[in-house]
Amino acid sequence: MPSIIAIINGKGGVGKTTTSVNLSAALADKKKVLLVDADPQGSTTWWVERGGTNMGFDLAQETEPTLLSSLQKIKGYELAVVDTPPALRSEALEVVVSVADYLILPTPPAPMDLAVLIETLREAIAPVGVAHRVLLTRVDSRSRKEA
């Protein structure tokens, strides 16, 4: 039974796919990892298939809520990382949040992105109460304002 880490945010273009792929590759050095592309856009699958090299983890593309609800029952993996769709009212997102052990919420530090982050926290995470952390993306370390 794998631990499940879901990468979520109600907005697209915030770094969910980049976070999912790189986190999976980093964790695959020590664990047997399954990366699940639960976003109908299939960006994770697109990037991994074009990676050209073995990234050290397995990839599955699955958007069906009924099957996503069974992630905890998958055998042969220590960890499942799930890239979710950018839609708060998505049944697939609700299911993944409900079975996840931990959530990572990537977001740029821009006002519009932070507003959606707060909405995601209130609507998708607070009702379930799963452990989570925010990961700031696209931060310019040369700028005191952002760093």
Q: What domains can you pick out in the chain, each with its CATH number?
A: 3-136 (3.40.50.300)
Query: What is the reported pLDDT for 145?
Result: 62
Measuring CA to CA, which residue among 38, 11, 133 is closest to residue 94?
Answer: 38
55-71 pLDDT tens trace: 889 999 998 888 998 99
- Cα–Cα distance, 120 to 35 (Å, whole number): 22
Tell me the per-residue pLDDT of 67-126, one tens digit each, with 9 for 90 and over: 998 998 999 999 999 999 887 778 888 899 999 999 999 988 888 888 888 888 888 888
Instruction: Spell out the alpha helix ranges (H) of 69-131.
Output: 91-99, 111-120
Report the predicted TM-score, pTM, of the whole model to 2 decimal places. Answer: 0.88
